[in-house]
Amino acid sequence: MYALLSLVVFFYVQSLKYFSGIQATWVFHHLNDFLTIPLVATVCLHGVWCVKKDKTIRLNIFTILSLVVLFSVAFEYYLPKQSHRYTADIWDVVCYFLGGVIFYILQKKG
């Protein structure tokens, strides 16, 4: 359910950005980063459920933190050194982390 809500929010904000010209810069720059880890973790979790045929499995904190570190290193350290298109931003790392926290809490309830 969280993944669906995240996608709805993402598409809503993107439509605001492109069609109405609203310039909430902080939201546009960091919302994707906040939603990334929960969406990727949800896809991974569903993949594990399909392979193991066990919907009681949950991703542990180490796995979620590994995703946060992977995305942080790839998108905030490595890629900015490879291309001018990417910029390193500590706030993106914070957003990845907060998204991971949200995913961990919500999957515990579900």
- Rounded to two decimals, what is the model's pTM? 0.82
Query: Which token pair is 104?
Result: 């961990």
Contacts 24+ apart (CB under 8 A), 106-110: 106/2, 106/38, 107/41, 107/45, 107/58, 107/59, 108/58, 110/1
Q: Is the dihedral of CA 72, 78, 81, 83 positive or negative?
A: negative
Indicate the number of domains in the chain.
1
Q: What is the pLDDT of residue 16?
A: 73
pLDDT in 10s for each residue of the chain, 110 residues: 667 777 787 777 777 777 776 666 666 678 889 989 999 999 999 999 999 999 999 999 999 999 999 999 999 999 999 999 998 999 999 999 999 999 999 888 76
**Residue span of the structural domain in which 65 resides:** 2-109
Q: What are phi and psi of 21, to 5 degrees?
A: 75, 15
Q: What is the pLDDT of residue 69?
A: 98
